[in-house]
Structure 1
Amino acid sequence: MIIVKTKEEIELMRLSALVVSKTLGMLAKEVKAGVTTNQLDKLAEDFIRAQGALPGFKGLYDCPSTLLCSVNEAVVHGLPTDRPLEDGDIVSIDCGALMNEFYGDHAYTFEVGEVDPETKKLIEVTKESLYVGIREFKSGNRVGDVGYAIQNHCETQGYGVVRELVGHGLGRKMHEDPEMPNYGRRGRGKKFIEGMVVAIEPMINGGTHRVKQLKDGWTIVTLDGKPSVHFEHDVALVDGKPEILSTFAYVYEALGITSDEENEFRQQALIL
């Protein structure tokens, strides 16, 4: 069952999402060669608690960490480790926060030092597909419209769209209805309703779409060992249009990146 949020609840969810956005922005300065994902995890937990929120992942489904850090061929759900990041790595950092009884859930794929051109292109296309999908989250459309848009954007460029893992509704629970696959057929699936909030999160592989789970019971990796990229935004349906509640602005500020990619999805100004 889809749980519709009031405008007041959506504003509370925006605050939860922004805790995660600020956490990713803080981490952006720390992601570098020689740093371990366990170190990043500790920084994130301390930062989230200092914001008056709780780590959204820690303890959820027995998750042992604040962050899920997926390096190179890891798609999602990578547990933090003591392995130092190396120049040329990529790391998808997925983070959640619980505040005001609502969850924020947000992810960004970071480059460590100099990344090869093929991987850079995979990152670029995956991030493009995130906004291609968000654009289809509007009144009159259905779940399949978002999935089709993401799938078409990525598969036409030769990439694999993961099937086993999907986006989801978001609210007082981390995972609510509907499931939001990154593949599908136009006009199929549940219809979008005013007040819905979803996490749209393309998980795109540089080769095959097929994946497997490691023995840790968490980490999902590509079957062919090629890199995978993951981006995620929290999006509400407001006045029939997609309104992004999370933001990459804090990451971009930390990395010195100028971007207007989110502007069309904001009905109110974002104040950093």
Structure 2
Amino acid sequence: MLKTTSKRFSLLSSRSYQLYLKNRSCIHTNTPALSPRKDTKAQWSTAQNNKWGQFQPIVPPSLFPVPVRSRPRLPVCSTIPYPYYAHEGISSEWALSTPYNTSDDLIKLRASAQLAKKILYMGGDLCKVGTTTNSIDRILHEAIIAEGAYPSPLNYMGFPKSVCTSINNIIAHGIPDDRPLENGDIINIDVTVYLDGFHGDTSATFYVGQVDNEGQALVECTKESLRKAINVCGPNVPLNEIGRIISDHASANGYSVSDELSGHGIGREFHCLPLIYHHVNTEDDVMTPGMVFTIEPVLSQGSSIGLMWPDEWTIATIDGGRSAQFEHMVAITEDGVEVLTD
């Protein structure tokens, strides 16, 4: 799960939200909150299809009848250890410095990371035309619980689901719902699990049915940008090299990189220092053995600016272009880097 590092993206007020709906011509005011996307197609959607390929943009519902924090949650049995934030729906406890992990910590981190990987690719197999993201969330929730782990996003700052599912023009933190996946969609599934006191976090973007060339090019470029960033990692390497490498690769291929969301340290805490910026930056910290963090670039076809829906979680591209994301969790070692989720 990405860490929000900027408030630049738009958070729509009630009045501006209605103006957004009207000006974009993307949805009717009487559309039910969870109606299928085929009922919300309109001029704005068609315009984006012509500009960036053949896909159906996800548009916000006109009404959010149930606040996110009040939505029902899938149960987790009491025998499974909960992270401390899960009971009250709060955030991570941010220390002032980066935590460094011992060799014993790394054993547990590897286990949580490998479980996250297993669940992620189970989710990828579920990305079929007609499948709802709610059903993906339910199946993955049950699989995580069966492994004796807790789904880390569940009630993190009130998040109501166990995984994030971000389709087409949704940048991040998409909340699973009853919309069926459509042929040509791309979908990012973001999985984090809490196992034996440590979090494991990974994500990937999957194809649904036949995806157009423009969509495939975006996804493959995003995956390659992550690979390039990992390859540069190692002890004493400046953390800002990650942003330079990703930005250079994205720019060379005509894509923008989100500078509003970042990777993050992870371990006993879901989110902690260091923050990992995927855009060009001047952060002066260096990679040090014992650091464990995520690298999770988001590349977009058009503008990288995000627009937050009134649910205060879902972030969409402001211009309707598609975005893609891949994420790995890495540990800096004495002689290089270990990809824990590989």
**What TM-score comes out, normalization by structure 2 length?**
0.71
1:253 paired residue number:
none
Aligned counterpart in structure 2 of residue 192 of structure 1, from 278, 287, 292: 287
* Post-superposition offset of 1:216: 1.3
1:237 partnered with 2:332: yes
Aligned partner of 1:72: which letter? N
1:209 partnered with 2:304: yes
1:54 paired residue number:
150
Name the Cα RMSD after superposition. 1.0
Aligned 8 A contact 2:128 2:209 in 1 = yes
Counterparts of 1:115 and 1:212, CA distance in 2: 25
1:18 partnered with 2:18: no
1:133 paired residue number:
229
After the TM superposition, list the runs of 4 or more consecutive aligned residues in structure 1 that deviate by more than 3 angstroms. Answer: none
Aligned partner of 1:217: which letter? E
Aligned 8 A contact 2:235 2:287 in 1 = yes
* Post-superposition offset of 1:139: 1.2
Counterparts of 2:232 and 2:293, CA distance in 1: 12
1:264 paired residue number:
none
Counterparts of 1:70 and 1:191, CA distance in 2: 31
Counterparts of 1:100 and 1:174, CA distance in 2: 13
* Post-superposition offset of 1:140: 1.7
1:227 paired residue number:
322
Counterparts of 1:164 and 1:145, CA distance in 2: 18
Change (3 A) 1:94 1:48: same
2:65 paired residue number:
none
Q: In the TM superposition, what are the counterparts of 1:34-45 in structure 2 within 5 Å? A: 34-45=130-141
Aligned partner of 1:233: which letter? H
Aligned partner of 1:228: which letter? S
Aligned counterpart in structure 1 of residue 239 of structure 2, from 143, 167, 173: 143
* Post-superposition offset of 1:136: 2.1
1:252 paired residue number:
none
1:113 partnered with 2:209: yes
Counterparts of 1:143 and 1:237, CA distance in 2: 11
1:138-193 per-position Cα deviation (integer Å, ceiling 9, x unaligned)? 1121111111111111012110100110000111011110100101247x421111
Aligned 8 A contact 2:123 2:189 in 1 = no
- Would you say how many aligned residue pairs link Structure 1 and Structure 2? 246
Aligned 8 A contact 2:166 2:173 in 1 = yes
Q: Name the SS of the counterpart of 1:128 in structure 2.
A: helix
Counterparts of 2:101 and 2:335, CA distance in 1: 14
Counterparts of 1:111 and 1:242, CA distance in 2: 29
1:265 paired residue number:
none
Identity of paired residues, percent?
A: 36
1:185-238 per-position Cα deviation (integer Å, ceiling 9, x unaligned)? 47x421111010001000110111111111111111111101100100010011
1:269 paired residue number:
none
* Post-superposition offset of 1:62: 1.1
Counterparts of 1:161 and 1:29, CA distance in 2: 27
Counterparts of 1:228 and 1:198, CA distance in 2: 22
1:262 paired residue number:
none
Q: Name the SS of the counterpart of 1:166 in structure 2.
A: strand
Q: Name the SS of the counterpart of 1:173 in structure 2.
A: coil
Return the index of the structure with the highest Cα Rg: 2
Aligned 8 A contact 2:165 2:176 in 1 = yes
Aligned partner of 2:111: which letter? L
1:246 paired residue number:
341
Counterparts of 2:313 and 2:281, CA distance in 1: 29
Aligned partner of 1:40: which letter? I
1:86 partnered with 2:182: yes
Counterparts of 1:4 and 1:210, CA distance in 2: 33
1:65 partnered with 2:161: yes
**For structure 1, which runs of at least 5 residues remain unmatched after alignment?**
248-272
Aligned 8 A contact 2:288 2:333 in 1 = no
Q: Name the SS of the counterpart of 2:214 in structure 1.
A: helix
Aligned partner of 1:223: which letter? I
Counterparts of 2:281 and 2:262, CA distance in 1: 15
